[in-house]
Chain A
């Protein structure tokens, strides 16, 4: 069936800010869908509130709206654009739920919009636990014994039948959010209350436990002619009980016979048909009993998912692209397989390699959180590795994670508590696989380990074989190790760094000499002629020639990657998403590729993150899906001999490699590694600032506790302390006295001569600003100036910010722009540079210089309509900035420009996933994603950014205010504004006195420790609509923490800074006034262009 001609305009809804459970895989799927539909000449209208996405690039859709994802906002856009259809299946749970809301609100019907992909009925069956269960039983499939509850009482009735442990799954939530495992009635009550609250339909499924069963997933596709194919099977090594997003998974399934696999395949297809997914991809999960083979259907997602992104990267089959084409009427057999080009997409990919995915957690950012893995996903990113065998892929995946490990052990860094071995085997945590390793090393049997972990013995046997080879290697040193053994270890995925550890010269001398480096091993390995080979991900196990170069390394006999004779540039990606280094950097890497392709270079991408656009096989000319380690990058550089390698777009990941790559003779393009070092080296950098006469807060660095105390005393408290070379404010803190500095030095960091601790004076109450700029080595162009809305001391990545600055005057903005240009030139920056400034008492201080792409580059690009990362990449390749016809961005720098547009970036915090963690913002970044709001007033832009993050703002009700003494004078204006808008003011005694004295009617209420009813009681009773609570200091810490915690669980917006509160007031006013309009990115760009033409 050919494509449909009865529809012209298709609306695509994205997934909004990156949150745990919904990350950049939906940028990948949305971008693919946009491209696929435009290829078919449909007019694509895209809505997403997340600016750090490729899908919101103006080239991807015909019309792009960076607007909040809610039905009011979507209706505004629908009114303007009048789409014929809505594709709801490529924007994650967010888009799927919105499509149901739009249908239920009658909006789709009113505007005559057809839902493509999954119809509302299918979504309901798939997402409503009750309907799904009934449907499965109807078609003869087994599901775990379970019952539905809408109240605690109902849930207690169900659990009386299903027993403990009990699995709780809320309906219509994402990544298992709000779900969990209860082992007793007390946990169960707590879990049910939270789950009922979090489910938008207040429904939970209470399920008998199938903990420890084998867990599998199938990625299934269906077209409207009812052709169905399985794209990939995925086996979870972590059995049932750990969310699949938090599980280490393998593709294809390793421990199923064909009969078991085909039975599951039949079931997967039947589930799709029964649920009514007419076209597109779905993910179906199964549990299989390890000793009798019983199979249960657990759940299904009637849309493109994180697993389907993984399956796409694992197989080379572009699920989202094909899903989009199927949605407009094509059938699978009408579409070609992009990799082979000769054969159709109506087939099932077959793998002659093994793929391993490992999640990346960020528990170090949430030290109070319990690290036990459950049915609620908490990882923030993942890596995928490809090898010819499971051991090879497994080792490659561990070294891809960038957690300071050279792989799965064998690097001297295992931290094992032998007394807790059984505990760590039984209870899943991120460390479990290192305990499995230790258990094997200490002689525990495979069967016993399997019994404790429920990990299938096949995998444990594989680990055993790896340790066997490892043991053989250990018996040698580099001088006498047989080449054959080295080859065997390489074929099992061991890194050169691991071999360097295993082949230590003489153990006794190891101390005396410097440790053997991976480069020594590398050199010896090359002498032995043991070189990696590269192989195609070809969808067909070599049955047909592959025409798209999507490659991975192994140690086989035949290399398939033939370098072309074109000039090449290698772009190093940003690895797994983590807090502080996420999708923004993948955006930059993709743009570097786009920019260089335009200049005629062959672009070569290296990355190991399956969620990203950069690892789509049609982003760069050539894709190496490989770990971003020195060894793996050098291997590719050896083969490809690129003219240049770009290290400044992928965050810290490639920067950390820059020096070693350069030392190995790899040509680094752009800002030289030495300049990067200079910016990080406090002494060298302050000398430069002195020379340039640019002020910076007093500072010093220390490698020991004594030194740090001396520095802090010299500078004067408070001080900001942090390790050098980190991103996202990792282990960064503001310290007010000797005692806390001592605690920090002892517990928070491992200071060493190579990695000193940086100590800066903390500028209290300063305004903080961020400047992004591009330099070609001669000219410097300011891309954007952002003002942080939260006050100083809060990590810029956790602070809302606005373009243009709204509280800093032109003179100081000019000072910053000049300093930026000066610094860029003096440092020899070629490419991007980001500088953080603080302004206090009329002085502009430089806080930090990052001579690389920053987190804010995509936001600035979306605000200005200029693809800065692309321009930077081209400048790096030698195209002077003067050769670009850049519109004048001066209008973006100052607020007093005529007809200003404000752009606000707001962040989302993952608190809901880490119950018990204090929600106070601080100098360590903990946000996972961002949204952008644009408007003709600051209030509108700020409100839209809030809504984009799903932060609701009340337009009436009771406002609770409690501020510290410093803030008391300034809170009056805010309170007055709230009162004027009709809010009733509640305050704690001190604040209430100030407000009453200012003539504002205020009801005093008790603090938690004063008596009852206290603040928390009011919040719990739903009597508080807005909280303004700035920290009062140690004395009331627990009181405030209780308030913040209660507010979080009850969804009450809480502001912890006065500047934030002032912004919220403006936003509320804007919401009350209404009259918002949605402007597409393309319209805004045209306007910028027209303004240039008519000065």
Chain B
């Protein structure tokens, strides 16, 4: 046992390191997905977090070149029950251990992740520290307590791209299969509307943008210009977008003042779609308030109801904050709710072309039940164009 995880309340877990040596701290959160560790590791929304995978065996399929959600691992650390250095997948290029070591990410195996998860579920998300150097519980507890809490923390500037860039790559062989015409008829609430390739221009704010979102936008006929989080609304409009996208990202949405301000400036002038942090920024801009969930939603199995159709979607989730339903003004409509805890999962402005979801319709990892939202965005842009 050469690594230790210590939580801010003094509880600690021993394990074996399969990543970088040293000390890393962050908010400890658990993800219950049984697949997708590579996507999670590379998802900028996990910036500042030590991620516990509840799936017991991690590393089985190695790491491949396509499934990374960004250019580098983003989570502060990885905590697993059993790491497998041997991997088997026809797409794999390296082991998970090679990748985390290369990027100086701490990773710990042989931790009783179930006990840890139960503890977080009961006591709430908390700060923690992983060390491969120090074994002194008291000292490490103090260090864990010393790191800032997630509330009030704007982390978007850490993960956003420093410059604007264009994105053209679609999902390739992993494009979500369109339903056959016969099947689509039976599913009127889920039209698969796509536009001619590259026919719509979407400007996407990058607060920690996942690649799968970009690929989906391309799949649905968009060409995308990604802009840094600090880009002004004027500069965005100068790019003559057909629609603006507010991305996912890490941390507390409330202090991301610039992002909230731009929503207000763009609202009504161009169709807007937001996912996760983007959804929270839109909610805040439209007058709502956000609050911290006890331990967040990090999973790929949460049921969400689309209130318009009553249909249930199995969704990919990754957020620690949510919008308070009582805080919303009358011109904002709740479109989706989480069936596990009845939190808000989607919003739409009643009169202006803007909507957002708390969960991840692009998936990656996760089920594809909600990819229709991309075609709704397309529909909104097409309508606006006409």
Contact = CB atoms under 8 A, between A and B. Distances in A.
Interface of A: 138-140, 225-227, 229, 252-263, 265-267, 270, 273-274, 289-293, 331-333, 342-344, 346-354, 388-390, 446, 456-458, 461-462, 464, 535, 540-545, 556-558, 560
B198 interface: no
B190 to A, nearest CB: 9
A558 B81 CA distance: 14
Contact of A333 (B177, B305, B368): B305
Given A227-B312, A347-B301, 13 more contacts: A225-B311, A257-B38, A258-B300, A347-B339, A348-B300, A350-B34, A352-B54, A352-B55, A354-B57, A458-B88, A541-B32, A556-B114, A557-B115
8 contacts: A252-B55, A254-B60, A258-B38, A331-B312, A333-B303, A344-B340, A354-B57, A461-B84
A266 B57 CA distance: 24
Contact of B301 (A270, A342, A349, A354): A349
Given A140-B180, A389-B57, A259 B174 contact: yes
Closest 7 CB pairs of A and B: A461-B86, A258-B365, A258-B36, A541-B54, A458-B88, A258-B35, A558-B115
Contact of B367 (A254, A265, A290, A560): A265
For the residues of A in contact with B, the DSSP-based class is loop
B301 to A, nearest CB: 4
Nearest to B61: A257
Given A256-B35, A388-B56, A229 B82 contact: no
Contact of A258 (B33, B82, B299): B33
A293 B36 contact: no
A267 B90 CA distance: 20
Given A257-B67, A458-B88, A351 B55 contact: yes
A332 B33 CA distance: 21
Contact of A352 (B114, B300, B302): B114
A270 B32 contact: no
A452 B186 CA distance: 46
B340 A347 contact: yes
B339 A262 contact: no
B91 interface: yes
Nearest to B38: A257
A261 B35 contact: yes
A813 to B, nearest CB: 59
For the residues of B in contact with A, the DSSP-based class is loop
Interface string B279-293: 000000000000000
Given A138-B180, A255-B61, A333-B339, A350 B312 contact: no
A390 B82 CA distance: 10
Given A458-B87, A461-B86, A255 B60 contact: yes
Given A351-B34, A352-B55, A389-B56, A542 B303 contact: no
Contacts of A333: 303, 305, 312, 339
B330 interface: no
Nearest to A450: B88
B113 A347 contact: no
Contact of B174 (A263, A291, A458, A544): A263
Nearest to A331: B312
Nearest to A542: B117
Nearest to B301: A348
Nearest to A462: B84
A558 B36 CA distance: 27
B67 to A, nearest CB: 6
B112 A557 contact: yes
Interface string B60-101: 110010110000000000000110101111110000000000
A255 B115 contact: no
A570 to B, nearest CB: 25
Contacts of A557: 13, 112, 115
A293 B302 contact: no
B56 A456 contact: no
Interface string B14-46: 000000000000000010111110110000000
B88 A457 contact: yes
B385 interface: no
B114 A558 contact: yes
Contacts of B352: none
B183 A389 contact: no
Given A257-B38, A556-B114, A543 B299 contact: yes
Contacts of A347: 301-303, 314, 339-340
Given A257-B38, A273-B183, A557-B115, A262 B363 contact: yes
Interface string B305-330: 10000111010000000000000000
